[in-house]
Chain A
Amino acid sequence: MASAPATPAPAAVAVPTASPATLLRLVVIVAAVGALEIACRVGWVPMTIVLPPSVMAESLWQLLLSGSHTRDIVVSFSNVAAAASLAVVLGFLIGAILHTLPPVRGAVEPLLASYYAVPTFMFYPVFIILFGVGSGAIIAIAVLLAIVAMITATLNGIDRIPLVLGKTARMMRMGPIERALKISLPAALPYLFTGVKLSVAYAFIGVIASEFILSGAGIGHAIAYAYNNFDNRTMYGLMLLIVLAVTVINAVLDTIDRRLQARLRR
């Protein structure tokens, strides 16, 4: 059955603990995809609006085989990787520095809390002036979107290091570096990883959305281009690619996240 690849991965990843809920979820997803397939084939949904999932999968397969969009795919994924890693590293550093300066932190924190209320995208044109149309502006806006999640997670993580661990470090006469690497970092890791997970999701959103609005390359641009040319096959094929990629990446990060959270409760 060609619609099989359209079943998202969370269920597949969670197989070792297959509960009734997991099985039911799989059934729900398969049923939804099947229903869409039937609705399209029978003609309840016109082919000019939505393509059957099997045709989407077939189109994606052909896109990947022919290599017609390989460049766009590489550009998008490398931008996401660059933006996510910049956001994680800078966000961690800023968070760690803010934590050592309580007055500054007190001034910045209320702004961080309402940061995501501001539609950052409206400032995309500013970055186009600063960096030109291309990867620079896109990575900048994606970092801007992702970094605050990492800063907040870092502050939260350092806050929650149990006091007793600090005392233990003093008892063992650890230096500041040894203490940071052996005590603080492992203790804060579960919280930090939640920040990493969010940063990756936000980096994806930032990169794809900016490519959509104004860009010359990338998957977002390719989808917008296909939409403008009524090329539904390409459009749905690329959409399926993004949905699958995001689902798989989320599932992997989520599994790691759950393991780390479980370690906290031990």
Chain B
Amino acid sequence: MRHILGPLLVILAGFLGWEVLHFVVANSSLPSPFETIVQMGVLLRDPDFWKQASQTGYAFGIAVVLSTLGGIALGILLGMGRLAGQVAEPILVNLYSLPKVTLYPVVLLIFGLGISARIAFGIMHGLIPLTLFTMNAILQLKPVYRRSAAVMGLTSWQTAFTVILPAILPQVITGARLGVSLCLLGVLIGEMFAARNGLGYMVTHAMERGDMPTVLAVAVMIAAVALAANGLLLALDRSRQP
């Protein structure tokens, strides 16, 4: 109970700070926390909001599944060949710190303006951290695991599934936690820049109309969902750590 109390107090202080800011900003174009919560209630009863949310959820879901599978597979592939890993790592690290929005127009040109562009953009964000974590976990694996696998005459396929994957699971979960949040960021930025549906579009559209309560209500709800999902994966992460 105690370890939840502290963060809760900090969040409460954040809301107080927001309230103060609401009073300070001239003629309060910044909505108060109360107005935002009221607007959340309005949105939650609005079928249009759920339509946009399901669009975002759909793109996000597909991006998470594809980038998780792809990231683990790519990580195992690069990690099992030591040289391949050494060659790829700096390239991947550089791609990771690149502002990927720069490349979004290329994704749009290739995939068109539909939902597939947003899914691809989400995968671009989520794939690399998971690949890096998986690869490094395998490179740091104790050699005795692979030697025992070799002694038992396992094929590389069997080695990957029965020895390596269980051994690196904790790091894979850490990487997946990072990948999931980045996937969400990718999908939302994609919607904010060029889309006609989804929560990201809803925010940019509300901003253009000057409808700040909606902007903040949607942003706070997404933040809450993201924090909850992250907390869940973090708990899984901790239960897996030795």
Task: Choose, from B68-76, B98-106, B136-144, the stretch at the interface.
Answer: B98-106
Number of interface residues of A (CB under 8 A): 55
Q: Which residues of chain B in 73-110 are interfacial with respect to chain A, using CB atoms and an 8 Å cutoff?
A: 83, 86-87, 90-91, 93-94, 97-106, 108-110
How many contacting A-B pairs (Cβ < 8 A)? 159
Do residues A106 and B87 form an inter-chain contact, with CB atoms below 8 A?
A: no
Task: Choose, from B40-48, B149-157, B161-169, B219-227, the stretch at the interface.
Answer: B219-227
Say yes or no: is B20 at the interface (Cβ < 8 Å to chain A): no
- Please measure, in the bound complex, the distance between the C-alpha atom of A126 and the C-alpha atom of B36, giving whole angstroms: 13
Q: Which residues of chain B in 191-238 are interfacial with respect to chain A, using CB atoms and an 8 Å cutoff?
A: 192-193, 200, 203-204, 206-207, 212, 215-216, 218-219, 222-223, 226-227, 229-231, 234
Contacts of A116 in B (CB 8 A): 178, 181
Contacts of A122 in B (CB 8 A): 188, 200, 203, 215, 218-219, 222-223
**Known: A50-B109, A130-B30. Is A119-B222 also a contact (CB below 8 A)?**
yes
- Please measure, in the bound complex, the distance between the C-alpha atom of A150 and the C-alpha atom of B29, giving whole angstroms: 31
Q: Which residues of chain A in 104-140 are interfacial with respect to chain B, using CB atoms and an 8 Å cutoff?
A: 106-108, 110-111, 113-114, 116-119, 121-123, 125-126, 128-130
Q: Which residues of chain B in 1-32 are interfacial with respect to chain A, using CB atoms and an 8 Å cutoff?
A: 3, 5-7, 9-11, 21, 25, 29-30
Say yes or no: is A208 at the interface (Cβ < 8 Å to chain B): yes
CB distance from B126 to the nearest CB of A (A): 12
CB distance from A100 to the nearest CB of B (A): 17
- Please measure, in the bound complex, the distance between the C-alpha atom of A201 and the C-alpha atom of B99, giving whole angstroms: 8
Contacts of B5 in A (CB 8 A): 107
CB distance from B18 to the nearest CB of A (A): 9
Question: Which of the listed residues A20, A106, A212 has the most CB atoms from chain B within 10 Å of its own CB?
Answer: A212
Contacts of A212 in B (CB 8 A): 101-102, 104, 189, 193
Do residues A117 and B203 form an inter-chain contact, with CB atoms below 8 A?
A: no
Q: Which residues of chain A in 74-120 are interfacial with respect to chain B, using CB atoms and an 8 Å cutoff?
A: 103, 106-108, 110-111, 113-114, 116-119
Q: Which of B102, B200, B216, B234 contacts A126 (CB 8 A)?
A: B216
Q: Which of A21, A110, A114, A254 contacts B86 (CB 8 A)?
A: A21
Do residues B102 and A49 form an inter-chain contact, with CB atoms below 8 A?
A: no
Can you list, as one digit per residue, whether each of B114-136 has a CB less than 8 Å from chain A (1) or not (0)? Answer: 00000000000000000000000
Say yes or no: is B185 at the interface (Cβ < 8 Å to chain A): yes
Say yes or no: is B172 at the interface (Cβ < 8 Å to chain A): no
Q: Which of B10, B25, B109, B184 contacts A129 (CB 8 A)?
A: B25
Do residues B87 and A25 form an inter-chain contact, with CB atoms below 8 A?
A: yes
Contacts of A121 in B (CB 8 A): 185, 188-189, 192
Contacts of B3 in A (CB 8 A): 106, 110
Do residues A250 and B109 form an inter-chain contact, with CB atoms below 8 A?
A: no
Q: Specify the chain B residue showing the minimal Cβ separation from A253.
A: B97
Say yes or no: is A61 at the interface (Cβ < 8 Å to chain B): no
Question: Which of the listed residues A128, A213, A220 has the most CB atoms from chain B within 10 Å of its own CB?
Answer: A213
**Known: A49-B110, A213-B193. Is A227-B188 also a contact (CB below 8 A)?**
no
Q: Specify the chain B residue showing the minimal Cβ separation from A9.
A: B94
Do residues A117 and B219 form an inter-chain contact, with CB atoms below 8 A?
A: no
Do residues B193 and A224 form an inter-chain contact, with CB atoms below 8 A?
A: yes
Q: Which of A20, A119, A208, A251 contacts B99 (CB 8 A)?
A: A208
Contacts of B7 in A (CB 8 A): 107-108, 110-111
- Please measure, in the bound complex, the distance between the C-alpha atom of A49 and the C-alpha atom of B108, giving whole angstroms: 9
Do residues B109 and A213 form an inter-chain contact, with CB atoms below 8 A?
A: no
- 12 sample A-B contacts, Cβ–Cβ < 8 Å, listed by A number: A29-B91, A49-B106, A118-B222, A119-B189, A119-B223, A125-B215, A201-B97, A212-B189, A213-B193, A223-B105, A242-B99, A247-B94
* Contacts A28-B91, A220-B99 supplied; 4 other A-B pairs, CB < 8 Å: A49-B106, A111-B7, A117-B230, A243-B98
Nearest first, the 4 A-B pairs at minimum CB distance are: A107-B6, A117-B230, A122-B219, A21-B86
